[in-house]
Amino acid sequence: MNIIQVFKPKFNEQQKGLPLYCGELSCGLFGISDDFVESYLSLDELFMRNRESTFFVRASGDSMLPEIKNGDILIVDRSYKVLDQSIVAVFHNGNPLCKKFLQRENHILLRSLNKKYSDIQVCDDDELQVFGVVIGVARDFRK
């Protein structure tokens, strides 16, 4: 099979970010060119509203499948308020975890997205330190 690269975006050293093309990418045939640049997008600007409060951490395990996979890079922001249903990075009794945060009337649950794992109910004598809210995931599809 001979694969031909038909489009090479123009790279401008002075432009902040990469081209964000208008429209959506369908799984069918499409055509893109410089005529379709909607704006320029920097992933730093998209995911970091406060650079000092944002960090990356690598996901491990399968408890957050299917949304978060082993090896994914999680984008975590400490400046976001933790709300019910937030995906959070926490230390629970000394264990670093990524879980869905569920605020109940008189307790907190930490839930895996993978149904084969049980909820963790946070008790009064447990230690829970929330590092931040997961606001994005970066995945390398080449692996």
Q: Which two tokens stand for residue 138?
A: 């970066």
Catalytic residue among 8, 69, 99, 100: 99
Q: Is the peptide bond before 66 cis (omega within 30 degrees of 0)?
A: yes
| Total residues found in the chain within this entry | 143
| Integer-rounded Cα radius of gyration of the chain | 20
Integer Cα distance of 18 and 90 in angstroms: 32
The answer to whether the CB of 32 falls within 8 A of the CB of 24 is: no
Catalytic residue among 63, 86, 100, 112: 63
Neighbours of 54 (CB within 10 A): 19
- Is 99 one of the catalytic residues? yes
Catalytic center residues? 63, 99
